[in-house]
Chains A and B, each alone.
Chain A
Amino acid sequence: MSALTFTLKEQQPAQRVDMSPLVCQKLQGLDVDAISAIILQTGKSRLRVDDLFYITGKNTQEIIVAGSINKLDFIGKELDGGSISVQGDAGAYLGMQMKSGSITVSGDTGIYAACEMKNGLIQIDGDAGDFLGGALPGNKQGMKGGTVLVKGNVGQRAGDHMRRGQILIEGSAGDYCGSRMLAGTIAVMGSTGRYLGYAMRRGTLLLWNQPQLSATFNDCGSHTLAFLPILFASFKSFDSRFADSGAAFNRVQRYGGDMAETGRGEVLVRI
């Protein structure tokens, strides 16, 4: 059975589109007519799915969004099993509160991708916006599990309020990476911006390059840590530079912080 494919029509939406109804578990058992009739909110308007997309294929557990643009928000919201492949860019809130399954994006994503994600895998081949894996404004816990893999760069506040899970960034991260982090792991192969780990309570920021650290992070010395080989071994299945055996290391400089908070977090820098 071929993948259920939503191809964006030539007449692109004028306003942002809420794509949250188009997730695998909500489409299961529906035929093309029923899927076509689903209503999507766009701006103040409500449009049928077939007003915006050509629909082909039948496998609701394997969804493709073809010709996607950055106005398509909430793709894969609360996804619970199955896969969504976004060909092009995605809007804001990609994979928000996702429970399981996988989402891949060939282009860039907007703000709040993977926010409050609970489990599963999100792979972004391009760049990700601010608040990747973060918490919605006013909420106290961001990403709670799963893996986010970004091949490009990420914006500011990646992992804000992150509670568990891992964010792997092949590129660079903006300011406030790991801010207010509660736990979990963020790995950055590129550079990091200012205020790294601002107010983080626990969690690990694993870096390939020496960051500009705040005064509230204290040097704990250089160490060989036994958990790192296990962590890197768990990356083997990813389509990523993180899976390369050459990327692995277990010798790091450890900085503890944020001492302005509980100081139980850590920044580990490859040496």
Chain B
Amino acid sequence: MIINGVTIDKTFAEAFPMKATRAIITAQNEKWAMISAQAMTGFATSVIACGCEAGIERVLSPNETPDGRPGVAIMIYAMGGKGLAKQLETRAGQCVLTSPTSALFAGIEGGKPIPLGKNLRYFGDGFQIAKKIGGKRYWRVPVMDGEFLTEATTGMVDAVGGGNFLVLAESQPQALAACEAAIEEMRKIPNVIMPFPGGVVRSGSKVGSKYASLGASTNDAFCPTLKGVTKTDLSPEIESVMEIVIDGLSKEDIDKAMRVGIQAVCDLGAANGIKRISAGNYGGKLGPFHFHLQEIMA
């Protein structure tokens, strides 16, 4: 398959079941909601070493938030429910509770309830106040700038993590420009996050390493500087490869995000140095979710 001069490999991305949740952070203005959201989703690019994958889903207008203030929806993904709950709680406690004027609300109705502010309330040292409003339980925790308002729980649901595609380009600036275009479009799709810095990862990994202590190492088949010394997957004109990783609440959500992302890359086309779109997989043996590139773009 070739779109605008860009070859779409006959391959697939392989993804895994994860647990996910969403939280809504509001603040006095969008600036401070975003600062809090960025802190809460920081150091959360990969479960390999961060414990979770997290990202900002989108900015919310005041009429979309529970308290009528500007807000940001964030999502957190982890391999298991216990890990997710721990990450959510520690991040909420250190990054949202501490952030000036912030409030924190559930972003998913239904699913299994996991603590959001349920345990953060103890920061109130006995001065915290519970309020059950419209069937939901809130905690008002007195803090130095006033009150920190938080919903007690949010919902945890089954999700999919690790959808991906690779952008193969003739130069590093062209690869990055294509990925930026893709991310801009993908951020418009609900229920997905691209957890790596700016949504783009330049150090895609393979499973295993020559060093016994490492579970993952550089994906040498896609490293352009190794074309002559390893079993490469790159043709001579490829000088740079970047990857976009997607976590989503469902396979369909990731499908949509991949489609618009790949399309944005293809719109730049061969004329802008984009040569191929490929994807990372493990032979289909590890992850139950397969995203076949040519089917997605058909």
Contacts and interface: CB of A to CB of B under 8 A. Distances in A.
Interface of A: 145, 164-165, 183, 185, 202, 204, 223-227, 229-231, 233-234, 264, 266
B131 A229 contact: no
Contact of A202 (B68, B69, B129): B129
Contacts of B127: 264
A234 B134 contact: yes
B133 A231 contact: yes
Contact of A204 (B66, B67, B129, B134): B129
9 A-B pairs with least C-beta separation:
A234-B134, A226-B149, A234-B133, A226-B103, A229-B68, A227-B149, A229-B67, A226-B67, A231-B133
Contacts of A230: 66-67, 133-134, 138, 149
A223 B146 contact: yes
Contacts of B140: 225-227
Contacts of B149: 226-227, 230
A227 B146 contact: no
A223 B147 contact: yes
Given A226-B67, A230-B66, A164 B146 contact: no
A231 B146 contact: no
B210 interface: no
B236 interface: no
A225 B67 contact: no
Contact of A226 (B126, B129, B130, B147): B147
Contacts of A229: 67-68
A63 B129 CA distance: 38
Contacts of A202: 129
Interface string B114-147: 0000000000001101111110001010000011
Do most interface residues of chain B lie in helix, strand or loop, or is the interface mixed? strand
30 contacts: A164-B132, A165-B132, A185-B131, A223-B146, A223-B147, A224-B146, A225-B140, A225-B146, A225-B147, A226-B67, A226-B69, A226-B103, A226-B140, A226-B146, A226-B147, A227-B67, A227-B147, A227-B149, A229-B67, A230-B66, A230-B67, A230-B134, A230-B149, A231-B131, A231-B133, A233-B68, A233-B134, A234-B134, A264-B127, A266-B129
A165 B134 CA distance: 10
A227 B68 CA distance: 11
A8 B140 CA distance: 48
Contacts of B146: 223-226
A204 B131 contact: yes
Interface size classification for chain B: 10 to 19
A229 B131 CA distance: 13
A233 B133 CA distance: 9
A181 to B, nearest CB: 13
Contacts of B69: 226
Nearest to A165: B132
B235 to A, nearest CB: 57
A168 to B, nearest CB: 13
Contacts of B103: 226
Contacts of B129: 202, 204, 264, 266
B126 A227 contact: no
B132 A227 contact: no
Nearest to B138: A227
Contact of B133 (A183, A223, A227, A264): A227
A238 to B, nearest CB: 12
Contacts of A226: 67, 69, 103, 140, 146-147, 149
Contacts of A225: 140, 146-147
A226 B66 CA distance: 10
Contacts of B131: 185, 204, 227, 231
A79 to B, nearest CB: 19
Contacts of A223: 146-147
A41 B68 CA distance: 52
A165 B146 CA distance: 24
A4 B24 CA distance: 46
Contacts of A266: 129
Nearest to A262: B126
Given A226-B67, A229-B68, A230-B138, A183 B130 contact: yes
Given A234-B134, A264-B129, 14 more contacts: A145-B132, A165-B132, A223-B146, A225-B140, A226-B69, A227-B133, A227-B138, A227-B149, A229-B67, A231-B131, A233-B66, A233-B68, A234-B133, A264-B127
B215 to A, nearest CB: 44
A257 to B, nearest CB: 13
A165 B133 CA distance: 9
A226 B65 CA distance: 12
A264 B126 contact: yes
A23 B256 CA distance: 53
Q: By CB atoms of chain A within 10 A, which of B69, B129, B140 has the most?
A: B129
B51 to A, nearest CB: 30
Contacts of B147: 223, 225-227
Interface string B50-73: 000000000000000011110000
A202 B149 CA distance: 17
